[in-house]
Structure 1
Amino acid sequence: MHRLFIFSLGLVLAACSSVQYNLPPVSADVDGDRRAGKFIWHDLISDDPEGTETFYSALFGWEFRSLELLGASYWIISLDGKPIAGMVDQSGVAAKRDISQWMSVMAVPNAEEAVSVVSKAGGRVLREPVSIGDRGTIAVFADAQGAYFATLTTVDGDPVDESSLPAEGAFLWHELWTSDVDDATSLYSALGDLDAEALEGTSPDGSAIDFRVLRSEELTRAGIRSLPEPEMPSLWMPYLRVKSFERLEVLLSEVDDLGGEVLVPAVSRPSGGYVAVIAGPSGAPIALQTWGDEQSLIEDL
């Protein structure tokens, strides 16, 4: 689908391994509880931070705040004053290739146990657990199919589950596109203590989709599906909410002029609404999903 689906996260981790950061918590809305298996943060590694800021600020109204960190450039990304993600400047990393990408971060209660679960399932530990101050302890992995993701054990508990839909431009959904749905389902079910359910689905061309949903506390945390294209590498795809198909059409019409690229035009989705895949100026892919105010909450996605 796009050349930047292929990357090497290990280069980032090797370059940053000697630097200790104190990052703020992912949310102030916590109650001390652990919500294993919930995706609670997102980091964008960008080779074009200035262009990325311009792109997402114009498209969704994201706000970028730079933090002063030793040896690295990092921004907190907020929407309507609420932190939703971070951005790392790739130029400060000794990478030999473009590694721009979105990194989805899953909550786990114990970082060392996460290392054990991933290792036993045939995955790779790309960054051993390390404290990043007030944010907690982070570790970075590749699963057995090569999909990259991170885990975070927060200091004061994980963000509470909201009773309303996220704002337009906020993160709505997380989906693993993988070459081995059974194997991946086994790993993430164990990692997040999640229940898995198989659902029937078909792609726009009529072919069958092997699709699973992962649930905890009666909430749907993520989806796992077979690869849309056989030659694609496995990856976690984050989804941003768009309120309507008409709004999605407007956003897609603006992507090229803002320095991005429409990778997959809008197509209907079996669970409802439409989805498209875009990339910002850095080339990191992200999905846009229509989900209206009148539709059910995220647990029904």
Structure 2
Amino acid sequence: MPPVTPVPNDLRLNGKFIWYDLFTSDLKAVQPFYEALFGWSFHETATGETRVLTIRREGVPIANAVYVNETKIKDGASRWLSYMSVADVDQTVLRIEQNQGSVYMPPKDLPDRGRVAVVKDPEGALFAILTATGGDPPDPAYDLNDFLGSELWARQLETAIQFYQALVAYEIEMVDVGNEKDYHLLVRDDEPRAGVVQIPWDDVNPNWIPYIAVEDVAAVAVRVEVLGGRLLIAPDPEIREGNAAIPADAATCQAIIALLF
């Protein structure tokens, strides 16, 4: 696995989402989709039996695409996994269990990456916690077609917020984003690290969804369908003033948010 940051440093930005993995049973479908949609490139990474492609933006690693047998992925769908930086993975796992969360994959050390665990919050939203070997990407480090962070879709807002505050001592800020009156920002050290919104549909499970910075949301939405993907949410003036869309890739990716940068 490539390191989270190409140049090692001593930064530890607790609560920041610093890495992303796409787990999919169809690498052949997702690779050309994201190459054409965001201009990313995919590169084989030697990791043993599991096939892993490192995703690069302008030569810089930003994520992995990981092959998973379709029998291990619910409904055969792809899934994005967001990695939260923490100071101590093992201690954070204890806090997760003490606050009604659960452990999906126990802590383990990954060469060049760091110590990691995959966990669930009380509502079942899956995410990873990571103490990166080479430090965290500095702020700010956002560009077009890069990850901006992640957003939590929750059913019980207060329960979710209290859980994540117990993990990394987030402060909470309310943000006006149009008709989403209960939009919260999780803030750590005066930097917004994630958003939290109540799920507006009955058939959607709690989950973390990555943001991607784009220059033209409407143009991205058109390209999604041309490339064989589909729009879970099309640009809509009543949703963040039309500055967001949620596409699914050609292998039925769970979701990713294209957000005006």
TM bin (shorter chain):
over 0.9
Structure 2 residue aligned with 1:213: 185
Partners in 2 of 1:167 and 1:212 — Cα distance? 23
- Report percent identity of matched pairs: 31
Match of 2:32?
54
- Match of residue 259 from structure 1: 228
Number of residue pairs aligned between Structure 1 and Structure 2: 260
- Give the C-alpha shift of residue 28 in structure 1: 1.9
Look up the equivalent residue of 1:187 and give its one-letter code: F
Please, which of 94, 115, 124 is the counterpart of residue 102 of structure 2?
124
Equivalent residue letter for 2:161: T
- Does the alignment pair 1:180 with 2:149? no
2:232 aligned counterpart, secondary structure: strand
* Equivalent runs, 1:103-114 vs 2, <5 Å: 103-114=81-92
1:154 aligns to 2:132 (yes or no): yes
Q: State whether residues 215 and 222 of structure 1, in contact with CA within 8 Å, keep that contact through their aligned partners in structure 2.
A: yes
Unaligned runs of 5+ in 1: 1-22, 292-301
Shift of 1:278: 0.2
Q: Partners in 2 of 1:182 and 1:39 — Cα distance?
A: 21
Contact 1:47–1:98 at 8 Å: present in 2 too? yes
The residue that corresponds to 1:227 in the other structure is 199
Tell me if structure 1 keeps the 8 A contact 2:211–2:257: yes
Q: Secondary structure at the match of 2:36?
A: helix
> SS where residue 28 of structure 2 aligns?
helix
Letter in 2 for 1:261: R
Following superposition of structure 1 onto structure 2, how do residues 129-148 of structure 1 map, counting pairs within 5 Å?
129-148=107-126
Report the equivalent of 1:287: 257
**Residue 80 (structure 1) aligned with residue 58 (structure 2):** yes
* Contact kept? 2:24, 2:70, Cα under 8 Å: no
Instruction: Report the CA distance between 1:30 and its aligned residue.
Output: 4.3
- The 3 A distance-change label for structure 1 pair 269 and 31 is farther
Instruction: Return the offset for 1:267.
Output: 2.3
Q: Distance in 1 between matches of 2:74 and 2:38?
A: 31
- Structure 2 gaps of 5+ residues are none
2:244 corresponding residue in structure 1: 275
Whole-Å Cα distance in 2 between the matches of residues 219 and 269 of structure 1? 27
**Deviation at 1:95?**
5.2
Could you tell me how far apart the structure 1 residues matched to 2:110 and 2:125 are?
Answer: 23
Amino acid at match of 2:181: I
Taking only aligned residues, the RMSD between alpha carbons, in angstroms, comes to 2.0
Who is 2:147 aligned against? 171
Question: Residues 116 and 48 of structure 1: is their aligned pair in 2 closer, same or farther, counting only changes over 3 Å?
Answer: same
